[in-house]
Structure formats: structure tokens, C-alpha cells
Amino acid sequence: MNRFEYIEARLEDGETFVSRESNIKLYDGEQKTKFEDGELVLTTHRLFWGRPGEIARAAVTLCLHLRYIVSISEEQASNYLFGRKTRLILHLRPAAIDKAPGPLDNSRASFIKLSGKHGVYSEFASALRETLEARIWQVDASSTNSNENCEEHAKPTAKELSSREARLRMRTGIGGIERAIEAKSKETDENIALAFQDLRVLMAMAKDMVGISQVISEKIRNERGEISQDETITFKSYLLSLGIADPVTREGYSSDTAYFSSLAQQLCEMLLDPLEDCGGMMSLADVYCRVNRARGLELLSPEDLLHACHLLQGPIKLRTFPSGAMVLQLESHDDEMMAVDTLALVESNTSLAVEDLAKLRNISLLLAKERLLAAERLGKLCRDESLEGLRFYPNFLINRPKEC
């Protein structure tokens, strides 16, 4: 950053505008600086950076003479919101002794980076490379003499400079604007083509899903044999990948009451079938993961989910166990029937630990523990705590076996 100078944004004699870029921030080597979201203007001689509107008013802005730039390289950076973006790295010569004051007097870095919200577009990068190759600033003999210590290349001939300047000017004026628009349109067409490639992949996956659903429906209709586990898992994974077509968001409602009411209704609609499949009960952690997976980028906060669960009405309700664990369960869920089912599993295995029941019923450890504790509260089971852990046995003190 010590190569930059504070200079009024005015064109000198023989200097012309080349290209412009917006929302650019500067790095001093790898370090971020306070110069963010500014406008970058490239001329045949210099590179200006200023706050929005400063360059148009010819205000004092940051200025980097192109003679300092040795080479240009690029790096790819990832951004959560905007995807991958390109940064330009400008490798610089040491600052001249007679340089005007700038933002820094000394800097250990031998390069700067140009970045932004969407990165630096390829059109601007190409314009900068062509400008450096043309080296129009060497036409000025006085400028050449004052910067001999900075120049390492031989001075081009007048004919070479003339041809380079003519080629560079093709990027300026109305013709340059038209070519930039045409290049932008071409890039847009390529992006659309890439998007349709992704769409074709999605359509192919939808065809597989339809085929599997038809196989499952036919087996159910004809009642011939059982549905294989692989087909069921594949079918459910396709359904989950489709997500919610129109997720409820805060932006669509004027009040929190209406938002949470609509969110509760949508949760009830999307969780009814999954709750039936997992035995009528699901932990809030599983609900949170399943809902946010279906919502895609419109993620839901844990606080909003809990608030909406408190407003659930109809076939699903929020339940809090004595241990503090919170679950969603169907209104038709019966603890007595669940305890009988748990007792049958314990009797068939002599005893069960929490992890044993979780494996047998394919449920989380939290739900397995609550089922065993609920059966214990109803007098169906009794516990045995030892160094080996917690195990549950049939309660023969209340329910004596028939052979006794």
C-alpha cells in the first residue's frame, strides 16, 4: 500500500480512460485494509481507487502508477453467499523515493490484492493486462526520465507504442462499451447453459425417483412380498432432496404472530408422515435437521422452530418429558400401548439397555431412553444400575409371570 499516492482523480495529457470496476476492496499483501466497497478506475497510465462518487467529482483519491506493477496473478476465493470469486494479485516494484504521500509510508508486502463481493470480473482483468502490455505511459519522455530506476524493460519504438495505443483504445469509447456488453451477454449465455446442465441432472434424478415410486406402489397394490430396504431408503432420500417448494419466511408476513402461525401449519404438514414412520415421536434435534434440510437456503433458527412448535395444533403436539427432553409426537400416540410394545421387546431379549432399544426400533438414544423410562413409570419395567450401565428388566414385582 506504500506505492499508492493521494492525487486528484483527473486525467493528464495523453491519458485516457480504459475500464471501471465497482465494489472493490484493497489488501496490503494478505492484510485487509479499511479501503472497502470502492470504485476502481483504470486509465492508460494509472489505477484510481475512491469511494463511490469521489472519482466522478475529481476528488482526492488513491492512485497507483502502472509503472509499479511487475506482474499480475489470480487466486480463487470461496464465499458462502456468492460462491467462488476471483481476486487479482498485483506484484509491485519498490516505491520511488520522490513518491507523493499516500495511505502508508512503509509496507513489508511486495504485492496488493484487488477483491470484492463478486470478485474482479474477467473483462477488467483483461483490460489491465492489455494496458500493462501496451505501456502507453512510456510515450511521455519526461515521465520515462523521472522513473528510470523503476523501469527494467527497454523503451519500445514509436511504431510499437502507436500500435499498442490503437489496440488499447479499441476498449474505450462507445465501441468499447458495446464490446463489453457483448462479452457480458456471452458470459450470461454460458452461465445459463451451465444452469440447464444442472437442471438436466435434476430431471434425470426425478425420473429415477418416479421409477422407484412406481415399483413401490405396484408392490403395495399387488401385496406381493415386502419392499426391500434399499428401495425404501432411495425413495425417501429423493423425497427429502426435493425440499419445500415455498418455505415460510419472515419477509412474507407483517407480524410475528402471522409468521409463527403459518410456520406451525407448514411444520405440521411436512412432519406428519415422518412422525408416523418413526413410531409417532421425534426429538426436536431431529426435527430441526429435517426441516432445515427441506428448506434449503431458507434456514430456520432454533428459536423460531421452538416458538412454532409451541403453536402446533391438530395431529401433532410438543411434549416435554420429566427429564427436560422435548419431542414432537402425534396426538394419537398412546404411552400405554408404547409401554406394552417396549415390554414385549424387553421380555424377548431378557433385558435391554438404551442403545439396544435404539437399534431395535431405529430411533435416537434420547427417544429410546424416554420410552424405557415411560414404561418404568407405568410399572412395566424396572431398572438395574451397575458398573456396566443402565439396563431394564420386566417388572415381576407388579406383573408376575404366569408360571409363578
Segment 178-191, tens digit of pLDDT: 666 777 777 766 76
CA quadruple 21, 23, 24, 30: dihedral sign:
negative
The three-point CA angle 120-122-127 to 5° equals 100
Mean pLDDT, the chain, rounded, equals 78
The one-letter amino acid code at 312 reads L
- pLDDT recorded at residue 229: 56
Residue listed under C-alpha cell 492525487 = 7
Grade residue 62 by pLDDT with cuts at 50, 70 and 90. Answer: very high
d(C-alpha 90, C-alpha 109), whole Å: 11
Residue listed under C-alpha cell 412454532 = 308
End-to-end CA distance of the chain: 91
- pLDDT recorded at residue 142: 46
Segment 209-225, tens digit of pLDDT: 556 656 665 665 565 45
Residue 155 has what DSSP assignment? P
d(C-alpha 155, C-alpha 144), whole Å: 9
Q: Which alpha helices (H) appear in 108-172, and where do they start and end?
A: 122-134, 141-146, 158-169
3-state secondary structure of 387: coil
359 or 245, greater pLDDT: 359
310 or 146, greater pLDDT: 310
Residues constituting the chain: 404
Quick check: 212 and 235 in contact, CB under 8 A?
A: yes
- Which residues lie closer than 8 Å to 402 by C-beta, 6 or more apart? none
Segment 291-326, tens digit of pLDDT: 888 777 778 889 999 999 998 887 888 888 888 888
Q: How far is CA 107 from the centre of its chain?
A: 34
47 or 242, greater pLDDT: 47
